[in-house]
Amino acid sequence: MKISIIGTGYIGLITGLALTKKGNFVTCLDIDQAKIDALNKGELFFYEPRLKNLLKQALQRKLLRVSRMNYEDITNSNMTIIAVGTPELNYDIDLRYIKNAAKSIGEALKRKKRYHVVVVKSTVTPGTTEQVIGKTVAYFSGKQIGEFGLCMNPEFLREGSAISDAFYPDRIVVGAYDKKSSQKYISLFRSAKCPIIGTNLKTAEMIKYTSNALFATMISFSNEIARICEKLNGVDCEDVWNAIHLDQRLTPLGYQIKTKRLSKITPGFLQYLRSGCGYGGSCLPKDTKALNSFAKSLKLDTPILRSVIRTNNTQPQQIILLAKNALGGLHGKRVALLGLAFKPNTDDIRESPGIKIAKLLLKEQALVICHDPKVTEKNIKNNHPELTIQLFPDINQVLKNANIIIITTSWDEYRKITPHQLKKLTCTPIIIDGRRILSRKNFIRAKIPYFAIGLGN
């Protein structure tokens, strides 16, 4: 099948590559010529494990091409997937790119007689697919919804493991305007080995927001528990969570084929029930705010959502309080900040706790020296030109002579930091473990002051 995708960002490109693996011919469309040229050469503008090799394979097999936005590639395809960004705008969803994409599809379909399916993969609030996108396509095409297909297919890609999520999904949700739209789009997934949930457009839109809001809630709840633990002498939230996780309702017993024994199954969602610096990235922050704003438009109060957002917005300040308590003040202090990406295995710094903490440290007039395995100076300058931090590729350069070390991203590289390493590089090492990835006992045994999120005094 021939498929056109509007958007060459994270979702558009990875979705396109997943579709080529099934033998489809995919054209990704964009308006940024520099980005188009780079992708056609197999060059990426963001980091995701395994993605570069998959892009090169798809280009070599001639199943993927990247082109400038045009009507011909849309009309020559069987369906068009919208995968453009829906960024935050004043705590609400910004639909500018969505509307532009819908307009372009409508103008293209005006030239086409055959049936065409429009699929929305961008995250949009309930009602947007039909009332905004569908009506815009209808207006500019001169056709009614139903004369062209309309579906909503939310994505559930996690940065850092998006390839596995796209190629081996745990479920596929397809919201459709009518039966014909649904049948045409679901035909792409005949070989899928996961449940396919067919529903209406609004339900599909709501499933996506509910998913992100749930995980954001778990993280903020975990951090509120951590704040309580910090006020209690001798209480460590890690001990609390380790015990909570053993509850059979959270980690049920399952039969292990390899060992032929019953043992605990550790579900992936438990990683969200851990205390840390807060959530970040391109989805959870903007989607919780958009859902809260959408609820307001329905004249509904959502106190839990508001609390989730407020807790997350203030969580980076907890790190600053720990640092101030450890040093007595931050003015003129050399701070080694480890981690600028919002999570490991990505270079995404959007809404990153590490970036927020760096800004707070600069307000305290600290000297901020940073390390991240994937984030580059170019990335920082493009997104945060106001940040006067120093970024070094060698972690030892960052740790050397630091007054305090703060871990804000749980990269595997940082899990390997040892007390001996710190003592060798700085005279009076102090560490703040913002992700709870180090052994507290090892640092206490080495007489290195160890502070952490959720650790009582």
Catalytic residues: 283
CA–CA separation, 25 and 44 (whole Å): 20
CA–CA separation, 176 and 153 (whole Å): 9
How many residues are listed for the chain in this entry?
457
CA–CA separation, 348 and 390 (whole Å): 18
Count Cα atoms within 13 angstroms, Cβ side, for 225. Answer: 19
Task: Pick the closest to residue 400 from 367, 439, 369 (CA basis).
Answer: 369
How many Cβ atoms sit within 10 Å of the Cβ of residue 40? 15
CA–CA separation, 357 and 375 (whole Å): 16
CA–CA separation, 410 and 435 (whole Å): 6
Residue in this structure with the two tokens 């209406």, named with its chain if needed: 200
Task: Pick the closest to residue 120 from 213, 204, 23, 199 (CA basis).
Answer: 204
User: What separation in angstroms does the CA of 346 have from each of 105, 153, 184, 212?
Assistant: 32, 24, 34, 18
Q: How far apart are the first and last CA of the chain?
A: 61
**Using an 8 Å Cβ cutoff, are 405 and 431 in contact?**
yes
How many Cβ atoms sit within 10 Å of the Cβ of residue 427? 7
Write out the DSSP string of 4-43.
EEE--SHHHHHHHHHHHTTT-EEEEEES-HHHHHHHHTT-
Kindly provide the b/e burial profile for residues 392-406, where b requires at least 16 CB atoms within 10 angstroms of the residue's own CB.
beebeebbeebbbbb
**Using an 8 Å Cβ cutoff, are 285 and 351 in contact?**
yes
Count Cα atoms within 13 angstroms, Cβ side, for 323. Answer: 31
CA–CA separation, 246 and 266 (whole Å): 9
Beta bridge partners of 81: 5, 119
Rounded to the nearest 5°, which phi and psi values hold at 395?
-60, -30
CA–CA separation, 369 and 351 (whole Å): 19
Task: Pick the closest to residue 209 from 334, 294, 319 (CA basis).
Answer: 294
